[in-house]
Amino acid sequence: MNKLKSALLTVQGLRKRHGERLLFDIDTLTLEAASAYVLTGANGVGKSTLLRILAGLDTAEIGHAVFEGKPVALHPYPPLLRRAIVYVHQHPVMFSTSVAQNIGYGLAARGEPKARVAALVAEAMDWAGVGYLRETEPARLSGGEKQRVALARARVLQPRLLLLDEPTANLDGAAREQVIALIPTLVQEGSTVVMACHDRDLIGLPGVRRLKLRDGRLEYRPHKEEAGDKP
């Protein structure tokens, strides 16, 4: 039986235009705490744009937004959301230092003590299975390694909301499976995860809910477990 979860983020009256074109018009978007969602839809419907708006990287018309029970603005993006929401690009940008320094960058920028940064980075590398890459230059990483490093870099910030843009795109075989296996653990640790994707295995993960952008509207599609269907 699913336990009732509280709303993490609710946005009402979310509209995005490109010139005269209305990309989408969403009456209400509600994301629950410690939950996983996949955001699907045809290419060009605005999946990445929606994630970028929620991350404060793009602007839109917003009627009203509430985060953890507090009214918030998405533009200008407030410090509360900057600390709570993390966005991971489909092609993560890495600094030309080392894997460890990349993972710890956000913590260092927040002014965390060096000892705490070192401990959290070490734990995150173990979690992502990239400890052997600690001193490696990011330019030498494979696609799968880079994606796992990006997830570790996001996880150390303990985000309340993690936005992933096509996290398994261009990955196959073991690299793809390794990334997929990390997603449920993020939710178990208390993060809400929203993944824009076409990956059927991500869509089919247990407990993952589906949000679909179609014809400018957002459709909520319950997971088959919620709908009462047998696996």
Q: What single DSSP character describes residue 4?
A: P
Cα–Cα distance list, 96 to 78, 104, 132, 138, 208 (Å): 29, 13, 18, 6, 35
* Other CB atoms within 10 Å distance of the CB of residue 199: 19
Estimate the crossing angle of helix 143-155 against helix 173-188, to 10 degrees: 10
Instruction: Please give the average per-residue pLDDT across 123-130, as a whole number.
Output: 98
* Other CB atoms within 10 Å distance of the CB of residue 79: 7
pLDDT digits (tens, 9 = 90+) for 52-99: 999 999 999 999 999 999 999 999 999 999 999 999 999 999 999 999
Statement: residue 223 has pLDDT above 70: no
Instruction: Please give the average per-residue pLDDT across 187-204, as a whole number.
Output: 96
Nearest CA to 195 among 96, 84, 47?
47
Instruction: Please give the average per-residue pLDDT across 131-160, as a whole number.
Output: 96
pLDDT at position 221 is 81
Instruction: Enter the pTM of the model.
Output: 0.94
Instruction: Please give the average per-residue pLDDT across 174-196, as a whole number.
Output: 96
Domains in the chain, CATH or no CATH each = 7-221 (3.40.50.300)
H helices present in 45-195, as ranges: 47-54, 79-84, 99-109, 114-128, 143-155, 173-188
Range in 59-68, 92-101, 133-142, 222-231 with the lowest mean pLDDT: 222-231
User: 224 pLDDT band (50/70/90 cuts)?
Assistant: low
Nearest CA to 24 among 34, 36, 6, 11?
11
| DSSP sequence for 56-81 | TSS--B-SEEEETTEE--SSSPPHHH
pLDDT digits (tens, 9 = 90+) for 196-219: 999 999 999 999 999 999 999 999
